[in-house]
Structure 1
Amino acid sequence: MSDDTPPADKPILAKKAVTLGGLCDVITLLALSFTWLGSLGRYGWLFDLLSHFRLQYVIVCALALIYAWIRRRIWLVLISLISVLWNAQIIEAFHQTAEVADTTREKALRVMTFNVLTENKNQTSAISHVMQTDADIVCLLEVDDTWRASLEPLRIKYPHHVEELSDVNFGIACYTRLPMKSSEVRRFTIWWLPTLVLNLDHLGRPLTFIGTHPIAPMSDQRAHEWREQLSGIATLVSGLPGEVILAGDLNATPWCEGMRLLREKGGLDFRSVDPVWPPTWGLDLPMMIPIDHVLTKRGLTIQKRTLGPETGSDHRYVTVEIVRSAP
């Protein structure tokens, strides 16, 4: 072989480099596509499932933007930039959903919702945090018979309570110091999951508190039951004449299709001075999302919203302070 013969491996290496670059482009486009597919939630459960991860998409799209800029892919830079802005504006829409209200007229109503996790091994600590929060209304989710003894301090502290303890992960219990006129357990789907409806008196006015925990929409059938339960609750709320508070692990992010149906059909909304997009579930996972919520109706405003610490559950509890908006 003469010295003028080019090395045989140079074209092969060049070809491999081009293939690697093309592969990165494809991966980037697939990542960006989730942003837009997630906006089609009303057309299919899988699309709606993709909608939950807006916080992650901001980061992914920003990385795609940097990659596209380095590679000098102008068209990809444009798509990445639009994707970043699209996700950011969706999140920003839930940063502040109410104006600061006059808090001097009456004491705020404190409400707490907490998915304690059925298999939580730290029940004592979890209930201790609930007691310390001293909320006027407490809604606990995923309580079963193994929690029965641990719940006794709440039964003593609060004069009114309703418990529907379940041997699956959908038990629910509500405790309140507000006068309770009546209560009922509603079931909206064939899964027969309980939703608690408490008819209370709040400073001389009727208040309906609803605590619920629909199934996670992780398949076509489950997504159907999830939407049915949220739709059933929305129908119930739309026919209620007085003030309404809905709380629980909704397995729904603020920007998903199920939440849109709940808000539009039921007239409920976040009405929160504080942002409602900080994650409440999976804080030790890359896929952390906000799925624990408190929504209100009829002039009630959430003046303050805080998340609790880690207490052995995969959820952080949500505590809000609610006041009546000025007429």
Structure 2
Amino acid sequence: MICPSLPMTDDAPPAESPSPLKKKSVTLAGLCECIAVLALVCTWLGEFGRFGWMFDLMSHFRLQYAVICAVVLVIALLRRRTWLAVLALLSTLWNVQIIHAFHQTAAAPGDRGEKPLRVMSYNVLMENPNHVAVIDQVLKADADIVCLLEVDESWHPNLEPLRVKYPHRAEELSDGSFGIACYTRLPLKSLGVRRFSAWKLPTFILNLDHLGHPLTFVATHPIPPMSQQRAQEWRQQLTDVAALVTDLQGEVIVAGDFNATPWCEGMRLLREKSGLDFRSVDPVWPPTWGCRLPMMIPIDHVLVKGGLTIQKRTLGPEMGSDHRSLMVEIVR
């Protein structure tokens, strides 16, 4: 049987051209190295917070940088990337020493037989639907001074049990996410409200009597520094609070959601210009915000001045807020 011949042609089938995706494909190892280098760069750029708000924003994530840099160090050693291993080691050590500086900021005080002053600071989250559970937690904590942040008018009826329990209070619920409510069983001598920065956000100043000694309690909540303008307002409020505290005599406690980690530039300015410090036997680096997120950071604080020491610092459970409550015990 004779098969019909196929027509002859000089045209050869075109060779298969490589896919653009294949040309530009990114390996997992390459991606890891890019992430690693980015973490290392952010580690060092965070040291320049005083020169720009973006640099200071990078400084907040020291906990994450320490973990990533340690992982990078292991990968670099396994892959024999000497330059990367050296940079990762230096960056890991740098982040760890910054964090460790806030592991214990005061020696354990001797027992003077005085009952410690218990202070609670809690950003309850304005949109938190668990009003009753939050207030129950505050009542059970039985602090001598309570500072609640992000309380608006929707919280007003649920705050009544605190009004009943505590003889003295200061509330400003009309500022939405920056509303503040303070309650105390200590004798209240006077109350003041200062409004700092262009946002005119309230800061409470409670002049109290503690065991026969004058005590000033300051509650504040600066705006998050998430843009250049907001970062300027945030830093200005922290600077204004520092100036306020500088002029105060005697023992001072400042509490709230500072939107500032212990190692950022804004916190450095507040501490240096006011004389305030953490003065805590327990570490102040455990995260208080975003505890279910990779970017969890410690931004809720209690700082003291005038011979006070925080002998115990504990975080409360999750109650529907993106923050956890902070309870401290303060002694002289």
Q: How does 1:187-198 map to 2 (within 5 A)?
A: 187-198=195-206
Moved more, 18-27 or 289-298: 18-27
Higher mean C-alpha displacement, 219-228 vs 62-71: 62-71
For 1:160, give the aligned amino acid.
H
Kindly indicate whether residue 184 of structure 2 is the aligned counterpart of residue 176 of structure 1.
Answer: yes
Deviation string for 1:156-188 (max 9, x for gaps)?
000000001124200001000000000011011
* Counterpart-to-counterpart distance in 2, 1:176 and 1:112: 10
SS in 2 for 1:184: strand
Which runs of structure 1 show a deviation greater than 3 angstroms over 4 or more consecutive aligned residues?
Answer: 14-27
Residue pair 1:279, 1:289 contacting (<8 A) in 2 also: yes
Q: Which has the larger radius of gyration?
A: 2
Query: Is contact 2:175-2:201 (8 Å) kept?
Result: no
CA contact (8 A) 1:141 1:213 kept: yes
Task: Pick from 223, 244, 249 the counterpart of residue 231 of structure 2.
Answer: 223
Matching of residue 59 in structure 1 with residue 59 in structure 2: no
Counterpart of 2:139 (choices 131, 143, 147) is 131
The CA distance in 1 between the partners of 2:124 and 2:47, in whole Å, is 31
Aligned length: 316
The more displaced of 18-27 and 73-82 is 18-27
1:209 matched to which residue of 2? 217
Q: Which residue of 2 aligns with 1:261?
A: 269
Q: Distance in 2 between matches of 1:52 and 1:244?
A: 26
Corresponding residue for residue 41 of structure 2: 33
Kept in 2, the 8 Å contact 1:103–1:323? The answer is no
Aligned pair partner of 1:92 in 100, 103, 106: 100
Q: 1:220-299, aligned counterparts within 5 Å?
A: 220-299=228-307
Instruction: Specify the SS of the correspondent of 2:276.
Output: coil
Structure 2: how far apart are the matches of 1:142 and 1:20? Answer: 43
Name the amino acid aligned to 2:255.
A
The answer (yes or no) to whether the contact 2:204–2:218 under 8 Å persists in 1 is yes
Question: Is 1:143–2:132 an aligned residue pair?
Answer: no
The sequence identity of aligned pairs, in percent, is 69
Rounded to whole Å, the distance in 1 between the matches of 2:128 and 2:298 is 20
Q: Are residues 102 and 19 of structure 1, via their aligned partners in 2, closer, same or farther at CA, if it must alter by over 3 Å?
A: closer
Give unpaired runs (5+ residues) of structure 2.
1-14
Q: In structure 1, how many angstroms separate the alpha carbons of the residues matched to 2:172 and 2:295?
A: 30
The root-mean-square deviation of aligned C-alpha atoms, in Å, is 2.0
Query: What displacement does 1:27 show?
Result: 3.6
- CA deviations 1:115-157 (Å, max 9, x no partner) are 0000110000000000000000000000000000000000000
Question: How far has the Cα of 1:17 moved from its partner?
Answer: 8.8
Pair 1:16–1:187, CA change in 2 (3 A)? closer
Cα distance, 1:71 vs. partner? Answer: 1.8
Distance 1:225 1:196 in 2: 18
1:298 corresponds to which letter in structure 2? Answer: G
- Which position in structure 2 is the counterpart of 1:164? 172
Matched, 1:115 2:110: no
The match for 1:311 is 319
